[in-house]
């Protein structure tokens, strides 16, 4: 009723004070008008109206009045009720700004914090073509960049991740009378997957974001625009980030699926929670009355009018939008799992269907069929002490690195490249090196599509691999991050795009052409060189010198020397800029000839999985003899004890990154007894294993 009364003010003449306040000095330029309210505990995202391309005295005054009136829309009233604000104590001011010609350029949002994990050492930049309303409203999936603050300050160019959005439309000025001041038009297909701004512009926006954050002394949410006529960048709004900045970092809350279900659809995850309930597909706000508490809201995209039902949802799924759209911002604030940018969620999911919305696995969120079981672990980090034995982590998925960096740790003992190569790249490196030799039209077309943004096909491999590694290295900086070189077997490499043309068939790939033996082989050497260039880029272009390198499955000392020689030719000289090179200890020869291996490497990391396989003569992929496979077998433990002793006698570092200490806490205690330097664990076993290590250290009076 209050809103209806306010709308009736429309025909009334403006009072002289309002007219005098608004009009002088703005007659001669187009104006963007937005209600900007800032409070440390609430975002007020989209609560007040914004008007673009307003021209002329009458339209300007009309837009101002609508801004004032928007204090009492249903959505604004509901929001203030939830947050406990007195409706008549909230003030509103209107900013009248000259329009940046982003309609001919680009616009976007910058956060000086990772919006999902709360990691504070990155800047997130989103960009689209045209005016910025589409990014806020979630009508366009934007380009996404992450920039690492620490080495940016040092003069490096650390864009540690970049992903193009599917920018199908853009908002421009409308010149049609009676049709409103703006309109959306299609983006030409050739431009949709291209980045809206350059890398240099991304770095400039990141630097500006850091300066604004420094000024306000808190993480910030910043809107910017690029003038398509002058090419200049402008900051048009800045306000405090209101969700992650206020999170209690002393309490670690982890959501984990206990079982897996059938994946129905996926998109970009918002937050790290899991929710389940019945689907309610609602096309527009006229249908929100049908929504019931604890249902899963599925729609094209939300705007502030949806907020009364968003707060009672078990989960939210949208067709469009990125991490900075309305649905993402509000879901984050409400603590509700949300998946945006699914493209066809409203078609795939059906009203009444039971589903689970999973945002616990990093960047990608998944909707599973049915109610899938999950658990929530909460740990008070204030009460958890760090042992003298270093507790490191095994990380495979770069998307989870920032979130997992909050778990108490001493760095990364094993960063796997395999996930990056299979999930980020998806192409066999030799198919890029020898692209002209690929005759299959379908394979060629898929490779062309993946590499369209790169001048050379091989650059795609180098840059994508570098970004994946950099995300992990940045998340744990300045702690050591030990990156294991690729260790795919032939059957695994063959599954990559174009892989079947370059991989032989082996009867037992587990002990075949893998690890170090590939790197110096002339058939694979060009692919290994790409890997080296990626690591060089991480250290020298991005400044992440906390990256160390580890050589897997190195059967002989001679193999090790050959690999080190190739690495040096590619710019990765052991010792340069503090570069340490380790070797996996996973073959009996590594233990027997430990003294010789220590002469050329900086240390060992015990790979208990393969070491157990080769000590006991058990194929670890075979179900028939699986009952024999046991890392706690005396023969295995004797070799582990022997190599730890050799490392200590030679003053070399030694750790373990195999599965054994993650699976068996008593094995971790055995390692402490032996005097191991570090134990690297999967994330969900870090806390419980740390407790066991502390118990053993107290017993040994370490």
Is residue 451 within 8 A of residue 426, CB to CB? The reply is: no
Before 478, cis peptide (omega within 30)?
yes
Whole-number Å distance between alpha carbons of 674 and 615: 19
Beta-carbon count within 10 A of 675 CB:
15
Whole-number Å distance between alpha carbons of 676 and 21: 72
C-alpha closest to that of 244 among 307, 333, 334: 333
In terms of phi and psi (left: phi > 0; alpha: psi -120 to 50; beta: otherwise), the region of 193 is alpha
Is residue 183 within 8 A of residue 174, CB to CB? The reply is: yes
Q: Which of 326, 338, 532, 585 is catalytic?
A: 326
Alpha helices in 199-325 (DSSP H): 199-216, 307-310
Q: In this structure, what token pair is assigned to residue 165?
A: 């959005």
Residue 325 annotated as catalytic: no
C-alpha closest to that of 221 among 212, 229, 230: 212
Is residue 52 within 8 A of residue 29, CB to CB? The reply is: no
In terms of phi and psi (left: phi > 0; alpha: psi -120 to 50; beta: otherwise), the region of 630 is beta
Before 44, cis peptide (omega within 30)?
no
Whole-number Å distance between alpha carbons of 348 and 654: 51
C-alpha closest to that of 487 among 516, 459, 522: 516
Backbone φ and ψ of 185, nearest 5°: -130, 155
Q: Which of 532, 585, 657, 674 is catalytic?
A: 657
Angle between helices 634-649 and 665-674 (to 10 degrees): 40
**Tokens 């062309």 sit at which residue?**
448
Whole-number Å distance between alpha carbons of 295 and 281: 10
What does the longest C-alpha to C-alpha distance in the chain come to? 93
Give the DSSP letter string of 256-276: EESS---EEEEEEEESS-EEE
**Tokens 């003899």 sit at which residue?**
625
**Tokens 């005396």 sit at which residue?**
634
**Tokens 């002339």 sit at which residue?**
522
Whole-number Å distance between alpha carbons of 412 and 547: 9
**Tokens 């582990």 sit at which residue?**
640
Whole-number Å distance between alpha carbons of 254 and 684: 8
Q: In this structure, what token pair is assigned to residue 591?
A: 């233990």
Beta-carbon count within 10 A of 74 CB:
14
Helix (H) or strand (E) holding 169: strand 169-173
DSSP class of residue 174 equals -
Whole-number Å distance between alpha carbons of 475 and 316: 28
- The SS3 assignment for 5 reads helix
Residue 627 annotated as catalytic: no
Q: In this structure, what token pair is assigned to residue 527?
A: 């692919």
* Nearest-5° Cα angle at 432, 429 to 438: 115
- The SS3 assignment for 227 reads coil
The CA–CA distances, whole Å, from 8 to 22, 59, 76, 87 equal 21, 17, 18, 20
Whole-number Å distance between alpha carbons of 361 and 351: 25
Q: Which residues are catalytic?
A: 326, 657
């Amino acid at each position: 009723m209050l809103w209806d009364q306010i709308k009736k003010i429309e025909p009334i003449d403006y009072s002289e004070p309002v007219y005098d306040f608004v009009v002088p000095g703005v007659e001669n330029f187009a104006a963007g008008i937005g209600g900007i309210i800032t409070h440390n505990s609430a975002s007020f995202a989209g609560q007040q109206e914004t008007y673009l391309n307003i021209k002329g005295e009458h339209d300007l005054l009309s837009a101002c009045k609508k801004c004032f009136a928007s204090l009492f829309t249903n959505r604004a009233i509901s929001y203030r009720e939830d947050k406990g604000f007195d409706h008549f104590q909230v003030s509103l001011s209107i900013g009248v700004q000259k329009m940046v010609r982003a309609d001919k350029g680009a616009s976007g949002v910058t956060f000086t914090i990772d919006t999902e994990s709360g990691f504070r050492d990155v800047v997130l930049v989103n960009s689209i073509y045209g005016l910025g309303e589409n990014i806020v409203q979630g009508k366009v999936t934007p380009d996404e960049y992450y920039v690492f603050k620490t080495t940016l300050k040092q003069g490096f160019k650390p864009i540690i991740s970049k992903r193009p959005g599917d920018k199908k439309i853009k908002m421009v000025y409308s010149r049609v009378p009676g049709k409103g001041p703006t309109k959306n038009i299609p983006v030409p297909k050739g431009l949709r997957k291209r980045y809206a701004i350059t890398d240099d512009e991304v770095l400039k926006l990141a630097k500006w974001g850091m300066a604004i954050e420094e000024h306000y002394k808190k993480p910030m949410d910043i809107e910017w625009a690029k003038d398509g006529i002058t090419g200049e960048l402008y900051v048009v709004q800045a306000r405090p980030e209101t969700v992650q900045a206020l999170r209690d970092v002393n309490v670690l809350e982890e959501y984990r699926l206990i079982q897996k279900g059938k994946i129905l659809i996926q998109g970009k995850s918002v937050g790290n929670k899991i929710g389940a309930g019945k689907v309610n597909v609602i096309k527009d706000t006229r249908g929100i009355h049908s929504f019931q508490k604890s249902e899963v809201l599925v729609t094209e995209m939300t705007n502030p009018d949806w907020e009364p039902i968003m707060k009672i949802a078990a989960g939210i799924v949208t067709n469009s939008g990125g991490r900075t759209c309305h649905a993402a911002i509000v879901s984050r604030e409400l603590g509700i799992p949300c998946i945006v940018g699914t493209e066809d969620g409203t078609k795939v999911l059906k009203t009444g269907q039971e589903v689970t919305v999973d945002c616990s696995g990093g960047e990608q969120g998944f909707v599973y069929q049915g109610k899938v079981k999950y658990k929530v672990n909460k740990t008070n980090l204030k009460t958890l002490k760090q042992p003298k034995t270093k507790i490191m982590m095994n990380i495979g998925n770069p998307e989870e690195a920032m979130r997992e960096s909050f778990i108490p740790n001493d760095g990364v003992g094993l960063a796997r490249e395999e996930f990056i190569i299979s999930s980020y790249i998806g192409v066999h490196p030799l198919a890029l090196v020898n692209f002209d030799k690929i005759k299959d039209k379908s394979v060629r077309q898929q490779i062309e599509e993946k590499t369209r943004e790169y001048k050379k096909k091989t650059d795609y491999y180098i840059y994508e691999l570098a970004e994946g590694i950099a995300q992990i290295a940045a998340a744990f900086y300045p702690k050591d991050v030990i990156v294991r070189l690729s260790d795919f077997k032939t059957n695994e490499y063959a599954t990559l795009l174009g892989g079947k043309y370059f991989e032989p068939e082996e009867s037992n790939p587990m002990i075949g052409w893998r690890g170090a033996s590939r790197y110096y082989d002339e058939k694979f050497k060009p692919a290994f060189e790409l890997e080296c260039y990626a690591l060089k880029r991480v250290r020298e272009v991005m400044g992440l010198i906390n990256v160390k390198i580890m050589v897997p499955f190195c059967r002989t000392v001679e193999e090790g020397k050959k690999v080190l020689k190739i690495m040096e030719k590619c710019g990765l000289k052991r010792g340069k800029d503090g570069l340490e090179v380790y070797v996996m200890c996973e073959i009996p020869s590594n233990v027997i000839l430990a003294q010789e291996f220590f002469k050329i490497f900086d240390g060992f990391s015990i790979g208990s999985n393969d070491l157990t396989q080769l000590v006991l003569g058990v194929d670890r992929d075979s179900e028939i003899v699986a009952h024999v496979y046991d890392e706690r077998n005396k023969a295995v433990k004797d070799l582990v004890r022997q190599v730890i002793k050799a490392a200590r006698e030679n003053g070399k570092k030694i750790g373990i990154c195999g599965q054994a200490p993650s699976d068996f806490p008593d094995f971790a205690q055995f390692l402490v007894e032996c005097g191991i330097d570090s134990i690297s664990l999967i994330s969900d076993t870090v806390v419980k294993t740390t407790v066991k290590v502390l118990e053993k250290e107290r017993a040994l009076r370490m």
